[in-house]
Amino acid sequence: MKALLFFLGLSFAVGSSSCGGSPRESSGARNSDASNVAATAGPSSAATPEETLPKIVAFGDSLTAGYGLAPKESYPALLQKMLDADGFKYEVVNAGVSGDTSAGGVRRIDWTMNSGDVRFVVVELGANDFLRGQPVEETKKNLAEIIERAKSRGAQVLLAGMYTTTDAGREYEAQIHEAFQSLAREHGVVLIPFFLEGVAGRDELNQEDRIHPNAEGAKIVAATVYRYLKPLLEKERQKK
């Protein structure tokens, strides 16, 4: 039941996106719209301090975009606050697009990587694929391509795992679990086992659709991502 609600909520997000959606659907941390990343990636006459900072790209669907939340409540915006509080000098770029799939991610990863000196990419995609019953191997292939394109640009990748309990059955669920596990092993990336850990299925941490985190739930999501990201940041800081 928990996962069924999860995918009903994602279906709602896809529908909203196809109809134009809410202006909040692709809000960001310091870059407020993922679609503006490419437009603003060119050189400017006077770079601001944020433009000179290395980047952490949050790359995903409505769960990353902050669907239904104010820009400052999205997980990338909260992640930015955590980084700032711990003295890490990075800019978090919200490259979440509501309703996006792994195939959509393949199409836009290259120009997203043009947002500056991208050091880390948090890849959160696949849930909408599974909602549609796409073969897991196809999603895995797309995620692998996203990972390798990001790595080819010198970025470290964190892969966010997802669960599903549609009517596809246990075998499909097992395939999804193994896909994320094997992607992490085969491509040498950090796996966040479940992006919505501690949030999924808890009404008090989700919006009325019972899938997208509310402001309190987004705080937990940000903390989960930061738990896996922070050790990588500390390693980078030690190299300097």
Active site residues: 62, 209, 212
d(CA 205, CA 23): 22
| Beta-bridge mates of residue 121 | 57, 157
Give the strand order in the sheet containing 91-96.
91-96, 55-60, 118-124, 156-160, 190-192
Q: Which two tokens stand for residue 196?
A: 């919505």
Sign of CA dihedral 131, 133, 134, 137: positive
Q: Residue 100: count other Cβ atoms within 10 Å of its Cβ.
A: 28
Q: Cβ distance 33 to 153 under 8 Å?
A: no
**Amino acid identity, residue 78?**
L
